[in-house]
Amino acid sequence: MVVVVMMIMIMTKKQQNQMMMVVLIMTAIMMIMRIIKNMMMVMRMMRMMILKLMMMMTMMMTMMMMLMMILMLMTMMMTMIDDDDDDDDDDDDDDDDDDDDDDDDDDDDDDDDDDDDDDDDDDDDDDDDDDDDDDDTDGDDDDDDFLINMQY
Protein backbone atom coordinates (compact mmCIF):
# COMPACT_ATOMS: atom_id res chain seq x y z
CA MET A 1 0.00 0.00 0.00
CA VAL A 2 2.81 2.39 0.88
CA VAL A 3 4.52 1.57 -2.42
CA VAL A 4 1.35 2.49 -4.36
CA VAL A 5 1.11 5.84 -2.53
CA MET A 6 4.77 6.56 -3.31
CA MET A 7 4.21 5.73 -6.99
CA ILE A 8 1.24 8.14 -7.15
CA MET A 9 3.34 10.90 -5.55
CA ILE A 10 6.05 10.45 -8.20
CA MET A 11 3.63 10.42 -11.17
CA THR A 12 2.88 13.49 -13.25
CA LYS A 13 -0.57 15.07 -13.44
CA LYS A 14 -1.47 13.36 -16.72
CA GLN A 15 -0.44 9.94 -15.38
CA GLN A 16 -2.46 10.56 -12.21
CA ASN A 17 -5.54 11.30 -14.32
CA GLN A 18 -5.07 8.06 -16.25
CA MET A 19 -4.53 6.12 -13.00
CA MET A 20 -7.70 7.59 -11.51
CA MET A 21 -9.64 6.59 -14.64
CA VAL A 22 -8.39 2.99 -14.36
CA VAL A 23 -9.26 2.83 -10.65
CA LEU A 24 -12.77 4.18 -11.28
CA ILE A 25 -13.37 1.66 -14.07
CA MET A 26 -12.16 -1.20 -11.86
CA THR A 27 -14.40 -0.21 -8.95
CA ALA A 28 -17.40 0.15 -11.30
CA ILE A 29 -16.76 -3.35 -12.71
CA MET A 30 -16.52 -4.79 -9.19
CA MET A 31 -19.83 -3.15 -8.25
CA ILE A 32 -21.50 -4.55 -11.38
CA MET A 33 -20.23 -8.05 -10.55
CA ARG A 34 -21.57 -7.81 -6.99
CA ILE A 35 -24.97 -6.62 -8.20
CA ILE A 36 -25.15 -9.49 -10.71
CA LYS A 37 -24.21 -12.00 -8.02
CA ASN A 38 -26.88 -10.66 -5.65
CA MET A 39 -29.50 -10.70 -8.39
CA MET A 40 -28.67 -14.30 -9.27
CA MET A 41 -29.04 -15.32 -5.62
CA VAL A 42 -32.41 -13.60 -5.40
CA MET A 43 -33.57 -15.13 -8.68
CA ARG A 44 -32.79 -18.65 -7.40
CA MET A 45 -34.92 -18.08 -4.35
CA MET A 46 -37.89 -16.80 -6.31
CA ARG A 47 -40.47 -19.28 -7.57
CA MET A 48 -42.87 -17.08 -9.50
CA MET A 49 -42.02 -16.40 -13.12
CA ILE A 50 -43.34 -12.79 -13.09
CA LEU A 51 -41.02 -11.80 -10.27
CA LYS A 52 -38.12 -13.41 -12.09
CA LEU A 53 -38.87 -11.29 -15.17
CA MET A 54 -39.11 -8.17 -13.01
CA MET A 55 -35.70 -8.93 -11.48
CA MET A 56 -34.22 -9.51 -14.92
CA MET A 57 -35.51 -6.12 -16.07
CA THR A 58 -34.12 -4.31 -13.03
CA MET A 59 -30.79 -6.08 -13.42
CA MET A 60 -30.58 -4.99 -17.06
CA MET A 61 -31.44 -1.42 -16.08
CA THR A 62 -28.71 -1.32 -13.42
CA MET A 63 -26.21 -2.75 -15.89
CA MET A 64 -27.08 -0.07 -18.42
CA MET A 65 -26.82 2.67 -15.78
CA MET A 66 -23.39 1.43 -14.70
CA LEU A 67 -22.14 1.27 -18.27
CA MET A 68 -23.38 4.81 -18.92
CA MET A 69 -21.58 6.03 -15.79
CA ILE A 70 -18.35 4.35 -16.89
CA LEU A 71 -18.61 5.92 -20.34
CA MET A 72 -19.25 9.35 -18.84
CA LEU A 73 -16.26 9.02 -16.52
CA MET A 74 -14.03 7.92 -19.37
CA THR A 75 -15.08 10.82 -21.57
CA MET A 76 -14.57 13.28 -18.71
CA MET A 77 -11.09 11.97 -18.02
CA MET A 78 -10.17 11.98 -21.70
CA THR A 79 -11.33 15.57 -22.11
CA MET A 80 -9.26 16.58 -19.09
CA ILE A 81 -6.19 14.97 -20.62
CA ASP A 82 -6.92 16.62 -24.00
CA ASP A 83 -7.22 20.05 -22.33
CA ASP A 84 -3.67 19.70 -21.00
CA ASP A 85 -2.42 19.03 -24.52
CA ASP A 86 -4.31 22.06 -25.88
CA ASP A 87 -2.67 24.32 -23.31
CA ASP A 88 0.74 23.26 -24.55
CA ASP A 89 -0.28 24.10 -28.12
CA ASP A 90 -1.41 27.56 -27.02
CA ASP A 91 2.03 28.22 -25.55
CA ASP A 92 3.60 27.39 -28.90
CA ASP A 93 1.24 29.84 -30.61
CA ASP A 94 2.35 32.57 -28.20
CA ASP A 95 5.95 32.02 -29.26
CA ASP A 96 4.91 32.47 -32.88
CA ASP A 97 3.24 35.77 -31.97
CA ASP A 98 6.52 37.01 -30.48
CA ASP A 99 8.22 36.33 -33.80
CA ASP A 100 5.52 38.35 -35.55
CA ASP A 101 6.24 41.29 -33.22
CA ASP A 102 9.83 41.30 -34.38
CA ASP A 103 8.60 41.57 -37.96
CA ASP A 104 6.44 44.53 -36.95
CA ASP A 105 9.55 46.36 -35.74
CA ASP A 106 11.05 46.00 -39.19
CA ASP A 107 7.87 47.46 -40.67
CA ASP A 108 8.19 50.46 -38.35
CA ASP A 109 11.55 51.24 -39.93
CA ASP A 110 9.87 51.26 -43.32
CA ASP A 111 7.25 53.68 -41.96
CA ASP A 112 10.02 56.09 -40.98
CA ASP A 113 11.17 56.15 -44.59
CA ASP A 114 7.61 56.95 -45.64
CA ASP A 115 7.54 59.87 -43.18
CA ASP A 116 10.55 61.37 -44.94
CA ASP A 117 8.61 61.26 -48.19
CA ASP A 118 5.71 63.04 -46.46
CA ASP A 119 8.05 65.83 -45.40
CA ASP A 120 8.93 66.40 -49.04
CA ASP A 121 5.24 66.65 -49.84
CA ASP A 122 4.81 69.28 -47.10
CA ASP A 123 7.51 71.37 -48.74
CA ASP A 124 5.55 71.27 -51.98
CA ASP A 125 2.46 72.45 -50.10
CA ASP A 126 4.41 75.35 -48.64
CA ASP A 127 5.20 76.57 -52.15
CA ASP A 128 1.52 76.50 -53.15
CA ASP A 129 -0.22 78.42 -50.31
CA ASP A 130 1.22 80.54 -47.56
CA ASP A 131 -2.07 80.39 -45.58
CA ASP A 132 -1.97 76.59 -45.44
CA ASP A 133 1.60 76.82 -44.21
CA ASP A 134 0.51 78.71 -41.08
CA ASP A 135 -2.23 76.17 -40.36
CA ASP A 136 0.18 73.27 -40.77
CA THR A 137 2.70 74.71 -38.31
CA ASP A 138 -0.03 75.28 -35.70
CA GLY A 139 -1.20 71.72 -36.18
CA ASP A 140 2.35 70.42 -35.87
CA ASP A 141 2.88 72.32 -32.63
CA ASP A 142 -0.28 70.77 -31.19
CA ASP A 143 0.94 67.32 -32.16
CA ASP A 144 4.29 67.95 -30.48
CA ASP A 145 2.59 69.09 -27.27
CA PHE A 146 0.41 66.02 -27.33
CA LEU A 147 3.42 63.72 -27.70
CA ILE A 148 5.26 65.47 -24.87
CA ASN A 149 2.25 65.05 -22.59
CA MET A 150 2.04 61.38 -23.48
CA GLN A 151 5.63 60.86 -22.35
CA TYR A 152 4.87 62.17 -18.88
Residues 146 and 17: their CA atoms lie apart, in Å, by 57
pLDDT at residue 97 greater than cutoff 70:
no
Per-residue model confidence (pLDDT) at position 126: 52
pLDDT at residue 12 greater than cutoff 70:
yes
- Average pLDDT over the chain, rounded to an integer: 66
> What pTM value is reported for the model?
0.30
State the first-to-last Cα distance of the chain, in angstroms, to the nearest integer.
65
Per-residue model confidence (pLDDT) at position 82: 58
| Predicted confidence (pLDDT) per residue in 17-65, tens digit | 777 777 888 888 888 888 888 877 777 776 667 777 777 788 888 888 8
Q: Shortest CA distance to 34 belongs to which of 59, 70, 71, 67?
A: 59
